[in-house]
Structures are given as structure tokens and as C-alpha cells.
Amino acid sequence: MHCTRKLTDSIHWVGGSDRRLALFENLFPIPRGVAYNSYLILDEKTALIDTVDSSITRQFLENLFHALNGRDLDYLVVNHMEPDHCANIEELMIRYPALKVVGNAKTLAYIRQFYDMDLEGRTLTVVENDTISLGCHTLRFYFAPMIHWPEVMMTYEESEKILFSADAFGSFGALNGNLFNDEVDFDRDWLADARRYYSNIVGKYGPQVQTALKKLSGLEIQMVCPLHGPVWRSNLDYLLDKYAHWSSYEPEEHTVALFYGSMYGDTENAVNILAASLAESGVKNIMTYDISSTHVSTLIAEAFRCSHLVLAAPTYNNGIYPAMLNLLHDMKALNLQNRTFALIENGSWAPSSAKQMKALLGEMKNMQVLEPVVTIKSAVKEDSLSALTELKEQILASLSDSH
């Protein structure tokens, strides 16, 4: 049976959710599952905006058939050719022989890379600012390359002022009946997943997101329809503000996240001492993470949230503790910048991880490292406790300066 929602009288959500999938892109844990959004516009002509992942094909087709109510499908607009959105193109082309696939030149090249289907006479190639009239509805296309693939475009419906935004403005998490942002407590239930989705999937491409935001700033937008997560029909300024922060690599909050690796608990003890001391001094929303047991995607999301990051790691094989090295690698790969760091190292005979962490941070943009760097030799003693107290004061001063 079908499970659809109306966005407006003539636009239907025909997507679905997968709660069985454990890893998005076989990388990122999604304990709440994920939604795949697809949208159908009914007019003199009918147009489907993107399809869904193969895992929910049956539900998607039932939704689509119900919403079409016996009508033909005239256009399939492909905003993004990643397989979690394009997996049903061939299925629809077989079922609807008159269907035309709408995409840009790169889109159509990718279709040929993924699939062996006869596209002859069944495609419509669009360029930036092209339009398609469906009757009362007009679709206009805006290219958004590298958010987060080269072919990505967004589709704006002019009469109802709806932006179909591809992977932009999306989130991890299955939909639970509530489709719209004003039907859920977004801050409580969705923000962390939206941030983790953005920072890990799109995070590298901040400049391209900024370009797209400027391009779209002249449009009057009543609703934003992403390919994952809730549809936004209110409080759009909140959503745009989050994207402005994330894409410019400016922290959302002036607070501290502490990331530690600890083999036997001594480095963890140093971090706990520092965190408690910062809290006593009035710092709110501190988060502390054991990087060995926390997925790196969560750590990256917190690095996008927080202005100040403490990295604490043992020396391991004369290098950086492996989980910390992995985190630093991802920070660089995802283009993180404009953050302030404090470093804590531990080593029983030759501590050297801080020097190496500092060198890797030096390869990133606008990363400040506070002094002192705290060195622990095996366990926290009076000298390292004194250094931790001094480091706390430097973090507090820096937090005060950054407001």
C-alpha cells in the first residue's frame, strides 16, 4: 500500500525510509536509518524529481503509482546521479515508454556510466537557467557543481516557489510519518544528524556551497525539499544560517570539545581534569569523546560545531595514536579550518605525539594552537597538573577573545 504526503495540492512526496541500513555509503553509522525523498508534480504534464535507493524500490513505486492515479509520467528530473537517488531510472523508463529524462550533460554521461539502457530520443539536456513548463508549474534549473558531485543541479518550481535542493539541506535519519520541519523538534531530534550529514558528506566543499547560497539568495523560496531528511516549509532562516556557518567553517558555538585516545586511562584522566576545570569556570556545552569508541563522523560533526578543540593522545610507535591520526586526516580531507586547538601528549619514555599533531594542524587553514602544550609522562603528576591549569586559563582567555 502507498505511503505518500502532500506538499501542496499538486506536489506529492513519494519517497520512503530505510531503517535496516546500518552504514550510509558503507561508512557512516545511521542508527536512525535514512530517508530517500522523491517528489511528484501533477499538472498538464507530470514530473518526478529524482528517484530513490534500490532498497525501497517497491514502496517508492507503490507511492508513485498511487499519486499518479493512472496518469503517465512525462518527465523525470535527475538532480543528482548518486545511486541512492538514481537507482530507479531504468525501472521507470521501462514502465513509462514516453518518459523523458531531464538532466545536464554530466548527468546523462553518468547515466551511461552506471546503466546500459537505450537513451536515444528519451533525454532532455538542460543548461543553467533553462525552464520546462508543465502547465501551471514551471521548472527552472540552477547548477550546483560539487555539492557534492560535479553534475548536481537544483530545480526551482516558480509558481509555488519550491526549491528541490538535491543533497543540500539534507540529514541522516528515517522519517517517522512527520515530513515537515515544523512537525518535529528539529533541534532535539534532527540537528546532530543534519550536522553530521553535512560535515562528512558535503563538508569538503564549503566554497561551492557558498557559491550556491549566493546564487539562490535572489529567489523567493517558500519550501526547501532535500533528498534526505525533513522538508522545510518554515523557519528557513534557521536552516540557511546553519549552512552559512558550516560552509564558511565558522563554529556554531563558542565552546570546547575534547577528543582523547587513552590506552590505560591516564590520558583520559588528564582530559577529565581539564573538562571539569573548564566547566567550573563557566564553559557550557562541553563534550568529551573517547576517539577509540566514537565513530569519526561524530567527531568531525563536533569539530564543525565547536570553536575550541582539545586533542589528547599517547605517543604510539613513535607516532600519533592511530585513532587520533585518523581524525586529523579526516579534518584535513574535509577542509576544516578556523579552529583553536589545545594539545595534550602522553609518553612513558619519548613523548612526541604533540609535535606531530601540531605539524598536521599546520597543513590546514587558520588553525591556532594554544600554549602550553601539556606533556604527561605516564600519569598526571604535579608538573603536568600545573600545565593543565595553565592550559585551561589559555583556553578561557581564547574563548573570551573569540566572542
Which residues make Cβ contacts (< 8 Å) with residue 319, sequence separation at least 6? Answer: 325, 352, 353, 356
Same domain, 268 and 381: yes
Same domain, 235 and 272: no
Same domain, 238 and 293: no
Domain boundary residue, one of 197, 217, 247: 247
Residue 403 has pLDDT above 80, yes or no: no
What does the alpha-carbon distance between residue 361 and residue 224 come to, in Å, rounded to a whole number? Answer: 36
Pairing of strands 28-29, 16-18: unpaired
Domain boundary residue, one of 217, 247, 277: 247
| 297-334 pLDDT per residue, tens | 999 999 999 999 999 999 999 999 999 999 999 999 99
Same domain, 351 and 220: no
Q: All 3 cell numbers of residue 70?
A: 493512472
Same domain, 92 and 189: yes
Give me the domain span that covers residue 361.
253-398
* More confident site: 403 or 364: 364
Same domain, 285 and 225: no
What's the rounded mean pLDDT across residues 337-345? 98
| 229-268 pLDDT per residue, tens | 999 999 999 999 999 999 999 999 999 999 999 999 999 9
Same domain, 333 and 220: no
Peptide bond into 148 cis (omega under 30): yes
What's the rounded mean pLDDT across residues 132-141? 98
This prediction's pTM: 0.97
What's the rounded mean pLDDT across residues 341-359? 97
The predicted structure's pLDDT at residue 2: 80
Q: What is the residue-averaged pLDDT of the chain?
A: 97
First to last CA, the chain: 53
| 144-166 pLDDT per residue, tens | 999 999 999 999 999 999 999 99
Same domain, 191 and 296: no
Per-residue H/E/C for the chain:
CCCCEECCCCEEECCEEECCCCEECCCEECCCCEEECCEEEECCCEEEECCCCHHHHHHHHHHHHHHHCCCCCCEEECCCCCHHHHCCHHHHHHHCCCCEEEECHHHHHHHHHHCCCCCCCCEEECCCCCEEECCCCEEEEEECCCCCCCCCEEEEECCCCEEECCCCCCCCECCCCCCEHHHCCHHHHCHHHHHHHHHHHHHHHHHHHHHHHHHHCCCCCCEEECCCCCEECCCHHHHHHHHHHHHCCCCCEEEEEEEECCCCCHHHHHHHHHHHHHHHCCCCCCEEEECCCCCHHHHHHHHHHEEEEEEEEEEECCEECHHHHHHHHHHHHCCCCCEEEEEEEECCCCCCHHHHHHHHHCCCCCEEECCCCEEECCCCCHHHHHHHHHHHHHHHHHHHHHC
Residue 402 has pLDDT above 90, yes or no: no
The predicted structure's pLDDT at residue 278: 98
The predicted structure's pLDDT at residue 1: 72
Same domain, 21 and 58: yes
Q: Is residue 403, in this structure, part of any structural domain at all? A: no
The predicted structure's pLDDT at residue 340: 98
Residue 355 has pLDDT above 80, yes or no: yes
Nearest by Cα to 205 from 312, 82, 83, 333: 333
Domain boundary residue, one of 247, 279, 302: 247
Same domain, 165 and 268: no
Same domain, 226 and 299: no
